[in-house]
Structure formats: C-alpha cells, structure tokens
Amino acid sequence: MRILIAEDDPAIAAGVCAALRQGGHAVDHVADGATADAALRDTPYDLLVLDLGLPALDGSDVLQRLRRRGTSLPVLVVTAREGLRERVRVLDLGADDYLVKPFALAEFEARVRALLRRYTTQGAPELLIGQLRLDLPGHRAWVGEAALDLTAREFGLLEALAVRPDRVTSRAQLVEALCSWDEELTDNGLDIAIYRLRRKLVGSGTQVRTIRGLGYLLEADAADQPDAEPADAEPDPSDDSEAAPP
C-alpha cells in the first residue's frame, strides 16, 4: 500500500514513516498542507495520515478539499486537538478515524491496519482468489494452509494486483504502488519481481497474466503454469541486481 504522511513534527513523522516502511508500505512524507493537497491531487494513495496543525494550509482544509473532489481515500487524523467538539467536527468533515497525540506506536499501527482492511477488503478479514488467501493489512499470504514466503517487494506486487482482481493494472501503476518518492524500480527490477511472484504462486490456482500493451492482472488460473506466456521476455532469475525488497 502507498501511504501519505502529512505531519510537520519531524520526530513523529520519522517514527510513523519508519514503522510503516518496516511493515512493507511505500510511504511519502510532506510537512505542510499545501504540499499535501498537491500530492493528493497528483498521486494515488491508499491511506492519508493527516495532522491538523499544518503550516501553509490547515489539515482541516486539506481534508475538505480532498472530500470535495469526491475521493473515498481513508483518512486517519493525528492531532493534539483532543476536545470532543473538535473530534466531532473533523469526523463530520470526512475523517475516518481520529488519534490524539501523544499516541502509542502500536495503537497507530493497529488503526492503520483496521482502515486498510476496511477499505481494501470491504471489511472482510481476507481476500480469496483461487486457493490463494491474502491478509493485506497483516502482509500475510497462504496457499491453502501453507504460508507463502514473500519478500516485501513481492508482497507489494501481489497486493497491488489483488486489490484489482480481474482488472488490468499497468506497469506504471505497479511502480507507483511499490515505490515512494525517494525510491526507484527499474523495468528489469519489476520484471524480476513478477517472475519470482509467478514461481511462488504455482499450485495456488492463481496466476499473474500479461495483457499485451496494457499491463497485468491477477486471476484464477485453470492451468496454473507460472510461465504460461512464453512470449513474455522473463528475466533471468539468477539476476539479483534489483531483487532486494524496497
């Protein structure tokens, strides 16, 4: 998942960004409301963590502008404003959850998982595709009862495809989902991740299928062959140059 952190306190921003990246998410950070508003217009995100007391543009205004654009992006507000009237006001503006500073990092992570679960799986605890089971917020995957051993990059790729089952996801969308602003993923690196994910999905009843000129989709696979598309220029799996997870 790709998450935007809009927080002007450097210590809080560093802590939450590190925790989310350790959990396998791609994370962007901005320190003022105007930059947050611009980022939300230009980049697709799966979650916004929003401080209210931002310079340049107050967090409440960022939230209002976001909702006026008609987006249902989940928003977790983190703020020192703890009064009941303020909480009600912000929730009425369209926030999905509200966390008062200072907060325990464990509670923050739990609220992030809950919001992602609610919006990516429509409240269901798991996604099921073929024999593949996915707990997206928990970053876990199984084939039947056997856990899949996936790198952070491989899980991120599977996640980006799984939230759009039977719909094509372009290479550009996959790169956006896997990388934050300060990271890069080359074409070769993406090809390697796709190749390795296909190998690990053998026996799952699920495949990553190439749609020529458009991108990829995750679908139930009758044949269950990882290399079912010989026309794909699959990379050499011995090339580890881009295989490290982000």
CA distance 76 to 62: 13
103 and 34 part of one domain: yes
CA distance 245 to 155: 9
pLDDT for position 138: 75
192 and 95 part of one domain: no
CATH code of the domain containing 9: 3.40.50.2300
Closest CA to 90 of 56, 58, 49, 60: 60
106 and 21 part of one domain: yes
Furthest CA-CA distance within the chain: 61
pLDDT for position 181: 66
169 and 216 part of one domain: yes
How many domains would you assign to the chain? 2
Q: Which residues constitute the domain of residue 133? A: 127-220
Decide if 227 is inside a domain. Answer: no
Decide if 228 is inside a domain. Answer: no
pLDDT at residue 163 tops 50: yes
CATH code of the domain containing 197: 1.10.10.10
β-pair partners for 140: 135
Q: How confident is the model at residue 223 (pLDDT cuts 50, 70, 90)?
A: low
102 and 146 part of one domain: no
CA distance 169 to 166: 9
22 and 66 part of one domain: yes
Decide if 132 is inside a domain. Answer: yes
pLDDT at residue 13 tops 70: yes
Mean pLDDT over 177-192 rounds to: 75
Decide if 233 is inside a domain. Answer: no
CA distance 194 to 187: 11
Query: pTM for the whole thing?
Result: 0.66
pLDDT for position 92: 93
Which of 16-25, 77-86, 237-246 comes out lowest in average pLDDT?
237-246
Six-digit token pair at 88? 């009600």
CA dist list (Å): 226 to 5, 8, 102: 37, 46, 48
Decide if 22 is inside a domain. Answer: yes
